[in-house]
Amino acid sequence: MKISYNWLKQYIDVDLNADKVAELLTDCGLEVEGLEKIETVKGGLEGMIIGEVITKVKHPQADRLSLTSVDIGEKEILNIVCGAPNVEAGQKVVVAKVGCTLYGFEKPLTLKKTKIRGETSEGMICAEDELGLGLSHEGIMVLDPTTKVGTSAKEHFNIEDDYIFEIGLTPNRTDAMSHIGVARDLAAVLNNKNEFYQKKENIPARFQIPSLEDFKTDNQDRNFKIIIEDTTACPRYTGLSVSGVTVKASPNWLKNRLNAIGVRPINNLVDISNYVLFETGQPLHFFDADKIQDDTVIIKKLPKGTNFITLDGTERELNGEDLMICDPQKGMCIAGVFGGTSSGVTESTTNLFIESAYFDATTIRKTSKYHGLATDASFRYERGADPNITVYAIKRAAMLIKEIAGGAVSSDIIDAYPEAIQTCKISVSYKNIDRLIGKSINKEHIKHILNDLDIEIIEDKNDSLILSIPTYRADVRREADVIEEIMRIYGYNNIEIKESLRSSLAYSSKPNIEKAQNTISDYLSSNGFSEIWCNSITKSEYSEKNTFLKPEQNVKILNPLSKDLNVMRQNLLFGGLETVLYNLSFFMNLVRHTNYLLTKKIRMMY
């Protein structure tokens, strides 16, 4: 998982170098596997400048090319051959001068002064995708007429230097699958390591999420009805309508945030959805409200064999267990996994219906595996999302939409939540905290750590605490889990290892298995054998098509990586044959003797 340091600092007041932050995150269990300094756009748009097209005439030797002269605020006017159909005199554009390197191609392209069909070209007028600022390649990128000629593109687009933390997140830490989640942990660590906090002593690290105080409903022009038919697969579904939006390119700050973590900007609506996802960890889905029949949204499972076309244009056959978001006439989205073409947002969309839901992890996991669809949304849902963040996320998205895409909130928030999911209550004794950690920690310090982790103290007894665990911590369910949380924030490195400790266990000698294996391997290889190691997982097709294997004896994998690796092997034969085929295909003569022996053995069996 990629985390941007600049983005992280929006939620926590911290001024440490990136290496120290990486160390602190690793110490608290969010292992930083890589740290990279980047520009928010690859190459940082170095050497590129804002110019104005002075003249444009048709190329004498090519109908689709134009000869332009471009002012970039320097003494000499550049002559540039341009193939874009939308180039016109008077436009403010981004110009890549000779020597610039563009990273929007399959391979980086360094510009040289060249001749195109006999005419000199001293640079390039760039399209959005060539700059790495988006996906559009319909023509050159035309800027606002008020843009100042001679301004560096880096300054104009507010290109930042940033650090990206590559965090090796364990599957149980769904709470940290967002910038806010990581910022919460970092604040807790800093509050317990005052020597690293570069502010006044004893002032806590300020952790703050964006305020929603200014959210309001503008009118009641578009109210939707939500019906949940399967409350087990969908315990909560929150919706909101926004009318009068304009689909266009996102502002630079939003593009920069997404580019930094490797998410390419598409348009303002898609980008807002992705931004809220990586900010809060809550997946959202935007529907074109005008494509929803009767302004009614139904959450249910459609019959097995129903065909559904997803946003990638692929027609998929539903298995009867896939949870779907539907209107009265059709399916619109595979819940928590992938949207459909019948209700997706397009460039002409003006009215939105926003979904912010909580889906059952098992249901989403099965659907994702069945259809082979792994998305950012399914990645979070199948590991356990937060049921109580849906309203916050939908308000956050609505406020960003009004700011960036215009429009008005046209309904109250519709929150279908038949049975509220309660927080988990856990009793923790101080005695067990000291026993499991191996060190006595001050009681006030323990309570301070719990407060930083948003774990509420319901009752404080002399010898124990009754705690309420936030719903976003699906992995904290036992006393030992709470103690682990205290320990990782307190710091594993702060637990001293006592030299006086001695083991009271008696160890009996046992055979050296590795030595025995090596001896046998040496004996066989010296007699002309070659060793192969085959996967213990294989395909069920082998047992279904061969009479000497019994399909009913297959040990099936619940979540197979693929259809070719879905059962445990019953026999070594087929793994050996796969290896023979591979070796023969690649002419590996070194194992020819092994292949001969295997083939001879197979013939003897039949």
Which long-range contacts link 176-179 to residues 24+ away (Cβ below 8 Å)?
176/30, 177/1, 177/281, 177/379, 177/380, 177/383, 178/277, 178/278, 178/279, 178/280, 178/281, 178/282, 179/3, 179/4, 179/7, 179/8, 179/10, 179/11, 179/278, 179/279
Ramachandran category for residue 555: left, alpha or beta (phi over 0 → left; psi -120 to 50 → alpha): beta
Q: What is the pLDDT of residues 71-121, one digit of tens each?
A: 999 988 999 999 999 999 999 999 999 999 998 887 888 999 999 999 999
Cα(346)–Cα(344) distance, integer angstroms = 6
Spell out the residues 6+ positions from residue 45 whose beta carbon is closer than 8 angstroms to its own.
39, 94, 131, 152, 153, 154, 157, 159
Q: Between the CA of residue 148 and those of 45, 143, 158, 253, what are the distances in Å?
A: 17, 10, 14, 19
Contact at 8 Å (CB) between 416 and 238?
yes
pLDDT interval class at 532 (50, 70, 90): confident
φ, ψ of residue 65 to 5 degrees: the values are: -110, 150
HSE of 118, CA atoms in CB hemisphere, 13 A: 4
Contact at 8 Å (CB) between 406 and 272?
no
- pLDDT score at 200: 45
Query: What's the CA angle centered on 51, arms 45 and 57, to 5 degrees?
Result: 125
Is 70 exceeded by the pLDDT of residue 353? yes
Contact at 8 Å (CB) between 315 and 308?
yes
Q: What is the pLDDT of residues 268-320, one digit of tens each?
A: 999 999 999 999 999 999 999 999 999 999 999 999 999 999 998 999 999 99
Cα(284)–Cα(289) distance, integer angstroms = 15
Is 60 exceeded by the pLDDT of residue 345? yes
Comparing 136 with 537, the larger pLDDT belongs to 537
- pLDDT score at 504: 58
Q: Between the CA of residue 374 and those of 260, 367, 368, 393, 602, what are the distances in Å?
A: 21, 10, 6, 22, 40
HSE of 100, CA atoms in CB hemisphere, 13 A: 26
Domains of the chain listed by start with CATH number: 2-40+160-196 (3.30.56.10), 43-156 (2.40.50.140), 225-416 (3.50.40.10), 424-493 (3.30.56.10), 521-605 (3.30.930.10)
- pLDDT score at 484: 94
Q: Concatenated DSSP letters for 103-157?
A: -SSSS-EE---EEETTEEE-EEEPBHHHHTS-S--SSBPEEPTTPPTT-BHHHHT
- The percent of residues above 70 in pLDDT, for the chain, comes to 93
pLDDT interval class at 439 (50, 70, 90): confident
HSE of 210, CA atoms in CB hemisphere, 13 A: 20
Q: What is the mean pLDDT of residues 421-438?
A: 92
Q: What is the mean pLDDT of residues 128-152?
A: 88
- pLDDT score at 199: 44
Spell out the residues 6+ positions from residue 516 whose beta carbon is closer than 8 angstroms to its own.
none
- pLDDT score at 562: 78
Nearest to 408 by CA among 253, 289, 291: 289
Spell out the residues 6+ positions from residue 566 whose beta carbon is closer than 8 angstroms to its own.
537, 539, 540, 556, 557, 560
SS (H, E, C) 432-463: HHHHHHCCCCCHHHHHHHHHHCCCEEEEECCC
- Strands 414-416 and 408-409, how do they pair? unpaired
- Strands 66-71 and 48-58, how do they pair? antiparallel
Is 70 exceeded by the pLDDT of residue 244? yes
**H and E: helices and strands count for the chain:** 17, 30
467 strand-pairing partners: 426, 457
Nearest to 409 by CA among 223, 210, 211, 213: 223
- pLDDT score at 502: 56
Q: Between the CA of residue 94 and those of 47, 99, 254, 311, 369, what are the distances in Å?
A: 11, 15, 19, 32, 44
Which of 65-69, 354-358, 501-505 shows the lowest mean pLDDT across its residues?
Answer: 501-505
φ, ψ of residue 389 to 5 degrees: the values are: -110, 0
Contact at 8 Å (CB) between 399 and 209?
no
User: Per the structure block, which two tokens stand in for 88?
Assistant: 């016109």
Instruction: Give the H or E element holding residue 317.
Output: strand 315-317
Q: What is the mean pLDDT of residues 383-391?
A: 94
HSE of 498, CA atoms in CB hemisphere, 13 A: 7
Cα(42)–Cα(34) distance, integer angstroms = 18
- pLDDT score at 289: 95
- pLDDT score at 503: 55
Q: What is the pLDDT of residues 7-28, one digit of tens each?
A: 999 999 888 899 999 999 999 9
Spell out the residues 6+ positions from residue 372 whose beta carbon is closer than 8 angstroms to its own.
none
Ramachandran category for residue 110: left, alpha or beta (phi over 0 → left; psi -120 to 50 → alpha): beta
- pLDDT score at 588: 52
CA distance from start to end of the chain: 52
Q: What is the pLDDT of residues 175-202, one digit of tens each?
A: 999 999 999 999 999 888 754 444 444 5
Cα(327)–Cα(323) distance, integer angstroms = 13
- Strands 296-301 and 225-228, how do they pair? parallel
Contact at 8 Å (CB) between 123 and 95?
yes
pLDDT interval class at 141 (50, 70, 90): very high
Q: What is the pLDDT of residues 203-225, one digit of tens each?
A: 556 789 999 999 999 999 999 99
User: Per the structure block, which two tokens stand in for 320?
Assistant: 């009867």
Contact at 8 Å (CB) between 549 and 543?
yes
Comparing 511 with 222, the larger pLDDT belongs to 222
Cα(574)–Cα(176) distance, integer angstroms = 42
- pLDDT score at 204: 57
User: Per the structure block, which two tokens stand in for 283?
Assistant: 């997946």
- pLDDT score at 205: 64
Q: What is the pLDDT of residues 561-589, one digit of tens each?
A: 777 888 999 888 888 888 888 777 765 55
CB count in 10 Å sphere of residue 322:
25
Mean residue pLDDT of the chain comes to: 88
Is 70 exceeded by the pLDDT of residue 46? yes
Q: Concatenated DSSP letters for 7-47?
A: HHTTTB-----HHHHHHHHHHTT--EEEEEEEESSGGGGTT
Is 70 exceeded by the pLDDT of residue 500? no
Cα(3)–Cα(263) distance, integer angstroms = 12
Contact at 8 Å (CB) between 414 and 303?
no
φ, ψ of residue 572 to 5 degrees: the values are: -80, -10
